[in-house]
Structure 1
Amino acid sequence: MLFLPLGVYTLLLHILVPPAHANSPLFFVTTALVNFDARIVQGWSGGGGERWSITNDSNYPFSGREFGAADRWTLKGSQTFGSGYPYGNVDNTTIAGRPFPYGLWPLYWGNNMMGSGEYGPALDGVRPGGQLVTIPLKTEDGTYNITEGEMYHIIGDRDSATYMMISLVRSCHVSPAWPVKFDPTSPISTVKMEDVIQYYRASSFALASPRYNNSFARSSTNTESTESTPIPDTIRYSEFHKCLDDVIMNALAIMNWAPGYSPTPVADAIWVAFSLLTCAIIIVLWFVHTVRFHWRNFKRKRRAAKRRKAEMIAARNRSLMYEMYP
């Protein structure tokens, strides 16, 4: 049996066990009642796969539209509402009639802004992930050197926002807070369209700051517009803001591969091959290191023995010389 150091065993265990996240939320998006078509939206998912078309079900408001297939590499949009669609951008003046690349509907800002009226509160009962909510993001942990009053808000469907909050609490030391219903038409709403500093997931999720006011937010009629008020340096270079953006990019729930179209077998084969190769390299390196250590130790002891023997012979010779010449 090969006995390896504890650290090597730990490293091997880390390599051989596939990575798993303590918080990997998922929820189902049902798009038809005639055959119960459903897809999974999951946090930390890579997305991708093939596009699907929503089954022609008279009870579903968006029958026939394409959805799914978008991956995490295309998750980020811009500060312009309607940005971030990896496909389906036929008319840049509206988001009405567009597909759902990540499986979730875009936000609703009231007054049919950019054609978003068709995703309004009247359909909250069937909105994937639940009704729109907002959650404040603050930190009092002391990890970041934040400026006074620095805070943010996430806006999105209830499930995505709640699961996202869990990841942000763990990774960015955000103070826990529950979601509240988001009503963009309320005059006392804590988050306005002008506050959004980043849209994600085909404008179905957003990060906002009350310290930012984008004067172009409501006047733009082009979802591909790059015009926006510059983000203040206190936000742009904030380590807290950077952490929030990074975690959202990695953890925000998006639609998984379609059933029967999964990269899992290939990915597993690659993972196993990589793991075995890595283990073999580690064992060889450990073996070489151990052999070299023992060989050097053996040579050191041999040299010491030779030195002691030479000293003993020299001492004896000196003694004999003393007796021969009194």
Structure 2
Amino acid sequence: MDPTDVYLNVLIPHTSLVATAFSSGGGSKQSINGGGLAGRASGGGTRNEIYGTARYGSGYGQYTTSADGTTQYQPDFTLDVSRRDFPHGFPPLSFGNYSGGGEYYSVEQGDLPGVLAPHHCATATIGSCDARVFALDISVGDQTWYVLADYVTVETINAIVSLPVAQGGCNMIGRIPQAMARGSTYGSQNETAPIGDKETQGYSTARATGLGIIRLDLYPWNVLQFYRGSSVAFISPDYDNAFAHNGNNNTDYWASTPFNKTGVDIPFLDCLNHTIAAAIPIVNPTLIVRSRLSKGQIAGIVVGSVAGVVLIAVGIWFWHSRQKKAKQAY
């Protein structure tokens, strides 16, 4: 993906909302008026709330106003994702019945934002054109990381982090996003799995090793950091968060197993974390779809140019955000 194409307009199905990379978010909410997610509210969230924690179901909350007029964001510490609204426009990933995510597992492709456009099918190295979730594998030395999200989000991250550091990227070699196979049930592979994990379903990809190509399954306890209401996951397959097992029933929102940083390129990892948070598409309140669109258009991605003044504003915001001390996510 050419870095000049990262300014994509992602249409939020069954609304007039549009999500873009680098958007600051905010604005009014809209009700989703059709499809499998009808009745949910979409939009209104800002990039200030883009970080969740290492726990699936994190990244939701609301603003409250005190008697003196002070407005403050309060995280929702409930980790169950069932019946959630989508403040940034994107529903959470689904790991089967894990932590309430079962209702998102079989949602029609046309009801999900950022899905794979038909002309991109040839780029999918694993899975098929009806894939709802894609992965970007990022290898540094003997370390491999994965970013799991919808196609447009993964491609946006791919384009930005592939740029030189001087241009706001992480100097990474571009990758081809992999369509993820769904339905790898943890209990079928591990008879000693806790009862609450037996029906947890992961996403499967392939990994080259000295022994050849092996199948790799990614589960919610492999996630170092969730973003955008648990709709984007930054994963290390070698990480195992003990607090995320047994159906995610440990209710300590902030709890996670310490990540072993031995041998890890921390500056590169920090760059990835900060860039993901700054770049991933969220609802842009300045863009509204006013014409009637076909279902295919709503389900797909419209590649367009953002006005020069918006690009300048985005560039200024991005560079300022990168200069600030970003939240440490692992």
Interval of TM-score (by shorter of Structure 1 and Structure 2): 0.5 to 0.7
The one-character-per-residue Cα deviations of 1:261-319 (angstroms, maximum 9, x if unpaired) are xxxxxx99xx9xxxxxxxxxxxxxxxxxxxxxxxxxxxxxxxxxxxxxxxxxxxxxxxx
| Cα pair distance change 1:180/1:121, threshold 3 Å | farther
Q: Which runs of 5+ in 2 are unaligned?
A: 64-74, 116-131, 164-168, 190-214, 289-308, 314-330
Match of 2:10 among 17, 20, 28: 28
What is the Cα deviation at residue 184 of structure 1?
4.8
1:154 aligned residue: 147
1:42 aligned residue: 20
2:47 is matched by which residue type in structure 1? R
What is the Cα deviation at residue 182 of structure 1?
2.0
Is the 2:18–2:287 Cα contact (8 Å) retained in structure 1? no
Structure 2 CA distance, aligned partners of 1:176 and 1:91? 36
Match of 1:174 among 172, 175, 179: 172
Structure 2 CA distance, aligned partners of 1:27 and 1:185? 30
| Cα pair distance change 1:233/1:251, threshold 3 Å | same
Q: Does 1:207 align with 2:189?
A: no
* Structure 1 range deviating more: 245-254 or 116-125: 116-125
Relative to its length, the structure with more helix (as a share) is 1
What is the percentage of aligned positions where both structures have the same residue?
Answer: 27
TM-score, reference length from structure 2: 0.62
Per the alignment, in what secondary structure is the counterpart of residue 62 of structure 2? coil
Q: Which has the higher contact order (CA 8 A, sep 6+)?
A: 2
Structure 1 CA distance, aligned partners of 2:263 and 2:227? 18
RMSD (Å), alpha carbons: 2.7
Structure 2 CA distance, aligned partners of 1:78 and 1:61? 27
Structure 2 CA distance, aligned partners of 1:178 and 1:40? 25
TM-score, reference length from structure 1: 0.63
| Cα pair distance change 1:53/1:124, threshold 3 Å | same
Match of 1:104 among 76, 86, 90: 90
Is the 1:48–1:70 Cα contact (8 Å) retained in structure 2? yes
What is the Cα deviation at residue 195 of structure 1?
1.5
2:98 aligned residue: 113
Q: Which runs of 5+ in 1 are unaligned?
A: 1-20, 140-147, 261-266, 272-326
1:132 is matched by which residue type in structure 2? V
1:7 aligned residue: none
2:100 is matched by which residue type in structure 1? G
Structure 2 CA distance, aligned partners of 1:259 and 1:129? 16
Relative to its length, the structure with more strand (as a share) is 2
Structure 2 CA distance, aligned partners of 1:198 and 1:106? 13
